[in-house]
Chain A
């Protein structure tokens, strides 16, 4: 596949999510996502860029295990989709836990990622909605987006072909 200006523009705008690291170099940006439910955190854990958290009762244990693992500059992902069908009491607890996760990410040089987790068009969220959510979570939106952009640029590796 040859890379033109058009494909380069598309490739730089999209970041794909993979479950495993691809064996061949790719022309587009990608991130390897590991789900909490699919694996146990230990020293034999495969390579990953993002760790997706989804259980709010055990998040403290997960954070301890991640701290022990001592991998710098990983992304810790939180999906809004998973909290939508919970009651407001649980949403309150979720907000409190997110504040702690954000603090953990800051202390351990990891990136906090707030994602819609949308599986259909109806579950997608606008930028303004994300900003409002971040304000409720006491996270400064501008700082969050700048940090995330920097992190994605450093993490996503693209193969531009032999120079």
Chain B
């Protein structure tokens, strides 16, 4: 039996709506959105601190994200169910757009979502 050296991870692309991004800014840590703090707290409260540490949740800072509406978080594959549950039960609501094994695939799908969003906004006015 060969031990696998690396744990498998998944990247989650989350959408944060206008109301949340404007009203829920973290005053202590400007780099980290408040929604991430809420999500981490919800996860640790629901599944315990041990599961929280095992999940290895990380907020990915991407320079080319281009929009404050999108967030990328990384977690271990084995904790993906708990992570999705915490996202579904978080308030203010967060929407999971895509789950991917690589950040490259995720950013490409995010560009597609952004163009869709821009198109929808243009059609509104």
Give residues in A with beta carbon < 8 Å to B: 80, 83-85, 87-88, 91-92, 120-126, 128-129, 131-133, 135-136
Contact = CB atoms under 8 A, between A and B. Distances in A.
B90 A84 contact: yes
B124 to A, nearest CB: 13
A133 B88 contact: yes
A56 to B, nearest CB: 14
Given A122-B94, A125-B96, A133-B88, 6 more contacts: A120-B17, A125-B88, A128-B99, A129-B88, A132-B81, A132-B82
B42 A132 contact: no
A126 B13 CA distance: 13
Contacts of A85: 91
A133 B85 contact: yes
B89 A132 contact: no
Interface of B: 15, 17, 42, 45-46, 80-85, 87-91, 93-96, 99
Given A80-B89, A85-B91, A124-B95, A136 B15 contact: no
Contacts of B45: 87-88
Which applies to chain A's interface (DSSP): helix, strand, loop or mixed? helix
Nearest to B98: A126
Contact of B81 (A83, A87, A125, A136): A136
A84 B80 CA distance: 19
A122 B99 contact: no
Contacts of A135: 81
A129 B83 CA distance: 9
A83 B84 contact: no
Contacts of A133: 84-85, 88
27 contacts: A84-B91, A88-B42, A88-B46, A91-B46, A91-B89, A121-B95, A122-B17, A122-B93, A122-B94, A122-B95, A123-B93, A123-B95, A124-B95, A128-B84, A128-B96, A128-B99, A129-B84, A129-B85, A129-B87, A129-B88, A132-B80, A132-B81, A132-B82, A132-B83, A132-B84, A133-B85, A136-B81
Contacts of A88: 42, 45-46
A83 B99 contact: no
A54 B37 CA distance: 28
B89 A83 contact: yes
Given A88-B46, A126-B96, A136 B87 contact: no
Nearest to A87: B45
Nearest 7 CB-CB pairs, A to B?
Answer: A88-B45, A132-B84, A132-B81, A84-B91, A85-B91, A122-B17, A129-B84
Given A88-B46, A125-B88, A136 B82 contact: yes
B89 A122 contact: no
A136 B82 CA distance: 8
